[in-house]
Structure 1
Amino acid sequence: MGYSLSGAEYSVDALRGDGYPWTDPQGERTMPFMTKDGFRLYYEDTGGNAPVIMFLHGAGGNHLSWWQQVPVFADEYRCVTVDQRGFGQSPDVPGGPGPAALGTDAVALLDHLGISRAAIVAQSMGGWAAVGAAVRAPERFWAIVLANTVGNLTNADIAAVRQRLAAASPPRPAVLWHAAIGPTFRKQQPVRSFLYAQISGLNAPLTADFRDQLLRLTTPVERYAATRVPTFFLTSEEDGLIWPELSAKVHAHVPGSRFERVEAAGHSTYFERPDVFNREVGAFLKEHRP
């Protein structure tokens, strides 16, 4: 059984695989967590033996953010979504490592689930996790999508472009979700804009300390390029957080990577233009599917 929303076809039957949603063999509801050094990471897993996609949300999201992707991709892939450390149902432990552990958390979850290789589809902050995971264990990933993100990839050339774009840009809205979706979407889709805000509101408030820690983390783009993991940079014309020109510059430093710019979308293309996002990401993953 399927249904259509915003031009995308969704399959309900695809979500009825083993282990999803959250049931034990007796049919009782369970809460799936990975425990690591006292930290509990919440995840959801559609199960099955198909190639795996791990979806990694941004700072305005959590595992629920991918509601327009999982029903689409679950027909052909095993889909894993998570509440990353510090978000949703995965609060960090007191004095925990914070964003520095995002990449190791992703690899640890693959180990926990017995998954040898996966693709990552990451948005915004999820790019930090994707990059961190890839440089630590490149053999574990058959493709990476960096959507409206360049992660923490940098070098002198990239840093100069970032500094120039930041100086020329207007001040960012004080409310995170106002910056995370584009003006076209906010104007044309008030109901779904409200839904984005509600999903984001399930997270604990993002602290200045967390943001500062995140922005201090850097990875030389040359180190990431050396992993040779097939990479797709997907950006959008209304993204005022990770500017399209910045994504294009990082793409130019990753040989063999793919680049696409989407019209009429802001920082959350996956949420604002799911039809285009799913089509472009689906084509890229199909090309590299193991």
Structure 2
Amino acid sequence: MPFIQKEDATIYYEVHGEGFPVIFVHGGGGNTLCWFQQVPYFSRRYKVITVDLRGFKNSRCDPQYAHPRYYPDDIRAIMDAEGITRAAFVCQSLGAWAGLPLAVREPQCVACLFITGSPTPAWSEQNWQVLRRGGDTFNSGKFGSGGVGWNREFMEKNPQRFFLYSQIRLLNGPFDARTMQDDELKLYPEDFKAYRVPTLVGGGLHDDFLTPDSHLHVVTLIPGAQSYTFERAGHSPYFEVPDEFNHVLETFLSGNIDGQA
């Protein structure tokens, strides 16, 4: 599988299938492996690219360079290496720190953007309160502990899948979630003045890692964005309710990229 050697990091990614490129960017508990319920489904129709963000699993770097400020450029490096000028993006939680800045600053590169379980770097005091609370929970190691962030019914009925998620997460290096709050990463209302990228923001009704309705606030910060609530999911709909997630994503992709070369 491909690696990109940058001055301060080695970036790992995978390519599956052919067609219009769709780039999947994981959250703070994931890596390329977490998309195992999406890759086989979408690679039948699209060129699916999954990535390990720097500091996660196979993307190695010194701790001081494992910062979200580098994510957009890392994704652009992958696109350049694959000869991709335009792609759809699917970003879970932390992954929005890669996808949303690209959509804001280089909209010609982003055909559409699907975000789930994420406060995103779009600034508001309310949004940053959610982000601070989530960051403290993540750094304390309480995410997933006692079911935080999950639909408890899912955990009880699927202990093997919850265990799998936990094992996938253990493959990652340490990550300081406080870095997501740095002032340099904030996207202010003026940054969105010319925003035109089709955007769908999803959230789980059982997400107590963030809040069950945080995605409804996020859509008010991104012009033209629409919302979707996964009523049976917590923080990770792609993992907890993959069939519903895949259906929602497929509909969104079909409406925004079908027919594009």
Question: TM-score by structure 2 length?
Answer: 0.88
Tell me, which stretches of 5 or more residues in structure 1 are unaligned?
1-30
Shift of 1:255: 3.0
Partner of 1:98: 67
Counterpart of 2:23 in 1: which secondary structure?
A: strand
Query: Partner letter of residue 197 of structure 1?
Result: S
Residue 198 of structure 2 contacts residue 225 of structure 2 at CA under 8 Å; is this kept in 1?
A: yes
Query: Partner letter of residue 238 of structure 2?
Result: Y
CA distance in 1, matches of 2:38, 2:252: 14
Q: 1:214 aligned to 2:180?
A: yes
How many residues align? The count is 251
Query: Partner letter of residue 6 of structure 2?
Result: K
Partner of 2:79: 110
Q: Given the superposition, is the C-alpha separation of residues 196 and 38 from structure 1 closer, same or farther in structure 2, using an over 3 Å criterion?
A: same
Partner of 1:192: 161
Partner of 1:257: 225
Q: Given the superposition, is the C-alpha separation of residues 115 and 161 from structure 1 closer, same or farther in structure 2, using an over 3 Å criterion?
A: closer
Partner of 1:278: 246
Partner of 1:3: none
Counterpart of 1:279 in 2: which secondary structure?
A: helix
Residue 130 of structure 1 contacts residue 151 of structure 1 at CA under 8 Å; is this kept in 2?
A: no
Larger Cα Rg: Structure 1 or Structure 2? 1
Residue 222 of structure 1 contacts residue 253 of structure 1 at CA under 8 Å; is this kept in 2?
A: no
Partner of 1:41: 11
Give aligned-pair identity as a percent: 35
Partner of 1:52: 21
Residue 22 of structure 2 contacts residue 47 of structure 2 at CA under 8 Å; is this kept in 1?
A: yes
Partner of 1:131: 100
Counterpart of 2:163 in 1: which secondary structure?
A: helix
Query: CA RMSD for the aligned pairs?
Result: 2.3
CA distance in 2, matches of 1:174, 1:254: 30
CA distance in 2, matches of 1:277, 1:60: 18
Q: Given the superposition, is the C-alpha separation of residues 237 and 162 from structure 1 closer, same or farther in structure 2, using an over 3 Å criterion?
A: farther
Residue 60 of structure 1 contacts residue 180 of structure 1 at CA under 8 Å; is this kept in 2?
A: no
Partner of 1:25: none
Question: TM-score by structure 1 length?
Answer: 0.80
Partner of 1:177: 144
CA distance in 2, matches of 1:42, 1:181: 28
Q: Deviations over 1:52-104 (max 9, x none)?
A: 10000000000000000011111111000011111010022364262210111
Q: Given the superposition, is the C-alpha separation of residues 110 and 204 from structure 1 closer, same or farther in structure 2, using an over 3 Å criterion?
A: same
